[in-house]
Structure 1
Amino acid sequence: MPYVNIKITNENVSSEKKAAIIVGVTKLLEEIMQKNPETTVVVIDEVSTDNWGIGGEAVTVRRIRKNI
């Protein structure tokens, strides 16, 4: 039973896009690993850009800095 946890920043990703990710990951595991799609679990966690850091700073700060 595969369990896949995908973390993305919470920046208005539509339900349709999340559904497409779930379908795509499930199909990929079925095709590549011969895993049963009926027992494949895909979880998408949305994380605030304030809580996601890259290179020692929050994504929120990086994006503000790059737009200046």
Structure 2
Amino acid sequence: MPVVTIRMASGRTLEQKRILAAEITAAITRTLGVDPEQVFVFFEEHDKENIAQAGRLFSES
């Protein structure tokens, strides 16, 4: 049972997440030979004010 967790800034559309989940599931199914029903994809979305890179908050970029 492969489990993938994607952590990202909030703001992506439902359609973008739908496509990404399908693409990731297809890659895992193809590579590992597992049934798509066994693949779980979790999206963890974070407000840009809660993410920093190089000492700067994304919300201030």
Q: TM-score, normalised by structure 2?
A: 0.88
List gaps (5 residues or longer) in structure 2.
none
C-alpha displacement at 1:55, in angstroms?
Answer: 0.7
In structure 2, the partner of 1:29 is: 28
Alignment of 1:1-20 (within 5 A): 1-11=1-11, 13-20=12-19
Q: TM-score, normalised by structure 1?
A: 0.80
Return the index of the structure with the highest Cα Rg: 1
List gaps (5 residues or longer) in structure 1.
64-68
SS in 1 for 2:34: coil
Q: Which has the higher helix share?
A: 1
Q: Distance in 2 between matches of 1:6 and 1:45?
A: 6
Q: Which runs of 4+ in 1 moved over 3 A?
A: none
